[in-house]
Structure 1
Amino acid sequence: MTVTRELALAKVAGKRPARRKFGPAFWSGAGILGVILILAGWMTVAPLYDPFVASGPALAAPSLDHILGTDNLGRDTFTRLALAARTSLIISGAAALLGAVIGTFFGLVAGYVGGWVDAVIMRVVDAVLALPAILVALVVGVVIGNGPWPLILALGLVFAPGFARVMRAPVIALRERDFVLAATLSGVRPARVIVEHLLPNVLTPLFVQFASVASQVVLIEAALSYLGQGVQAPEPSAGRMISEFTRFMQLQPLLIILPSLVIILLSAAWNLLADGMQDYLAPRREPAFSLGRRTKRRGPANPDRTTTSTQHTRTE
Structure 2
Amino acid sequence: MTTTDDAAPDTRDSAWLLLARNPVTLLSALVLIVVAVIAVTATAIAPFGINDVAVPSALRAPSGAHWFGTDELGRDVLSRVLVAIQASMRIALVSVALAAIVGVAVGVLAGFRGGWLDTVLMRVVDVMFAFPVLLLALAVVAILGPGVTTTILAIAIVYTPIFARVARASTLGVRTEPFVQVSRAMGTGDAYILRRHILPNIAGPLIVQTSLSLAFAILSEAALSFLGLGIQPPEPSLGRMIFDSQGFVTMAWWMAVFPGAAIFLIVLAFNLFGDGLRDVLDPKQRTSVEARRRER
Paired amino acid for 1:190: D
How high is the TM-score relative to the length of structure 1?
0.82
Describe the SS at the equivalent of 1:197.
Answer: helix
> Does residue 36 of structure 2 align to residue 37 of structure 1?
yes
Cα deviation, residue 139, structure 1: 2.0
Does the 8 Å CA contact 1:148/1:230 hold for their aligned counterparts? yes
How many angstroms apart in 1 are the aligned matches of 2:27 and 2:10? 32
Matches within 5 A, 1:111-150: 111-150=111-150
Going from structure 1 to structure 2, the CA distance change for 1:169 and 1:291 (only over 3 Å counts) comes to closer
| Count of paired positions | 279
How many angstroms apart in 1 are the aligned matches of 2:274 and 2:44? 30
Q: Which moved more, 1:205-214 or 1:27-36?
A: 27-36
| Runs of 4+ displaced beyond 6 Å | 13-16
Paired amino acid for 2:138: L
Cα deviation, residue 184, structure 1: 2.3
Does the 8 Å CA contact 1:88/1:221 hold for their aligned counterparts? yes
Structure having the higher helix fraction is: 2
Identity %: 37
Q: Which residue of 2 aligns with 1:28?
A: 27
Note the alpha carbon deviations across 1:258-285, whole angstroms, 9 max, x for none: 1111111111011011011111213243
Describe the SS at the equivalent of 1:53.
Answer: coil
Paired amino acid for 1:153: L
Q: Which moved more, 1:194-203 or 1:169-178?
A: 169-178
Describe the SS at the equivalent of 1:99.
Answer: helix
- 5+ residue gaps, structure 1, are 1-12, 293-316
Describe the SS at the equivalent of 1:120.
Answer: helix
Q: Which has the larger radius of gyration?
A: 1
Cα deviation, residue 240, structure 1: 0.6
Matches within 5 A, 1:224-263: 224-263=224-263
- Let me know the Cα RMSD of the aligned residues: 2.3
Paired amino acid for 2:122: M
Does the 8 Å CA contact 2:29/2:273 hold for their aligned counterparts? yes
Cα deviation, residue 173, structure 1: 2.0
Matches within 5 A, 1:105-254: 105-254=105-254
Cα deviation, residue 46, structure 1: 4.2
How many angstroms apart in 1 are the aligned matches of 2:210 and 2:251? 40
How high is the TM-score relative to the length of structure 2?
0.87
Q: Which residue of 2 aligns with 1:62?
A: 62
Going from structure 1 to structure 2, the CA distance change for 1:258 and 1:15 (only over 3 Å counts) comes to closer
Cα deviation, residue 15, structure 1: 10
Cα deviation, residue 223, structure 1: 1.3
